[in-house]
Structure 1
Amino acid sequence: MNFATWPPLLVVDVEGNGTNPPDLVEIAALPIVDGQPDTTTAKAWLIRPERPVTAHAASIHGLTNDLLADCPTWLTIADTVRSFLGTTWIAAHNAHVEYRELGRHLPGWEPVGAIDTLRLAKATYKDLPAYSLDALIKHVGPDLTQAPHTGRHRATYDAYATAQLLLAMAAEYDTWDQFIAAAVPPSLPGAPEPEKDPTLW
């Protein structure tokens, strides 16, 4: 895979407050540049949600109501997030979640395409017992020494880990088109058009 031919791409991850539907409490967006995560231009936002963070959600990502009390609200940063995301490709683990929640919070926003590393992993590493982010980290063994010190289940760490897994899996494909065919679910933007039956008028 020639990473120099890739279009602009952001690995994204979001964390919520545990309500249904969730308010966002953290977003990370990590550019991939020349086949490497570019932490120098990455962005992350902590957000004070309209509704309190549930105890269950806080126990997973550690973002408590007290920690978020002085953070900006979504309305304060929405335009900044929209501007940074632009309309570029995004990638995420189980990308339906990021695509749905970012789209719900940013009406009218639409990426060029959405790569799902969960779908990609199932195509690349067949017959693994599990395809969670933790299971893939254990299987692939990516270099996470430069990952943010926030730890798992924080958006910055998970975006970095997802980026490393994405690049490791992409190396198994010869071309961008082959990669996209394996990585983009039919229901998300950027999915290849199905071949038309040439016998039909």
Structure 2
Amino acid sequence: MKFATWPALLVVDVEGNGANPPDLVEVAALPVRDGRLDTSTAGWWLTRPNSPVTPFAARVHGLTNDALADKPAWTEVADQVRTFLGNTWICAHSAHTDYRVLSAHLPGWEPAGVLDTLRLARNVFPDLGKYSLDRLIDHVRPDLRKAPGARHRATFDAFATAQLLIAMASRYDTWDQLVAAAVPPGLPGAPEPERDPTLW
């Protein structure tokens, strides 16, 4: 894989308040350039949700209502996030979720495409059985010594997802092959299905 041929790409992860639909409490966006993570220009935002963080969500990611009480509301950082994301490609694990939540919070935003490391892993490791982020970390053993934060925080999960993406992408020769394996149908960037030449 020639990583230099990749378009601009951000690996993203979001954490919510546990409501349905969720309010965002954390967003991380980590650039991948030439097959390497660029932590020096990563974006990271903590926000105070409109509705309280549920006890279950707080147990998962550790972001309590008290910890977020002095953080800006989403409306105060939305333009920053939109500008940072731009219209680049994004990647996430179980990308439908992150794409759906970000789209709901950024009306009119549309990335160039969406890579999903969950879908990619099912193609790369067809016999693995389970494809959670933890299972893939155990299987691939990426170097997470410099990962910021802890598991289930957006910064850590984006870092881990980026490392997994790079490791799995090395199985493919071209960007187009990677896209075919990693972009879920119906999401931006999905390859157009081949048209039957016999049809008018």
TM-score strictly above 0.5: yes
> Are 1:161 and 2:155 matched, yes or no?
no
Off by >2 Å, runs of 4+ in structure 1: none
Matches within 5 A, 1:1-201: 1-148=1-148, 150-201=149-200
- Please tell me the root mean square deviation across aligned C-alpha atoms, in Å: 0.5
User: 1:76 & 1:9 partners in 2: Cα distance?
Assistant: 25
Q: Paired residues, what number?
A: 200
SS at match of 1:49: coil
SS at match of 1:102: helix
Post-superposition Cα deviations, 1:10-64, rounded to whole Å, max 9, x if no partner, equal: 0000000001100000000000011011000001000000000000000000000
Give how far 1:187 is off: 1.3
Give how far 1:146 is off: 1.1
Give how far 1:200 is off: 1.0
Instruction: List gaps (5 residues or longer) in structure 1.
Output: none
User: 2:20 & 2:191 partners in 1: Cα distance?
Assistant: 32
User: 1:153 & 1:114 partners in 2: Cα distance?
Assistant: 21
SS at match of 2:79: helix
Give how far 1:129 is off: 2.1
TM-score w.r.t. length of structure 1:
0.99
SS at match of 1:4: helix
SS at match of 1:147: coil
Give how far 1:82 is off: 0.3
Give how far 1:2 is off: 0.1
Post-superposition Cα deviations, 1:79-129, rounded to whole Å, max 9, x if no partner, equal: 000000000000000000111000000000000000000000000111112
User: 2:107 & 2:129 partners in 1: Cα distance?
Assistant: 37
Instruction: List gaps (5 residues or longer) in structure 2.
Output: none
- Give the fraction of aligned pairs with identical amino acids, expressed as a percent: 70
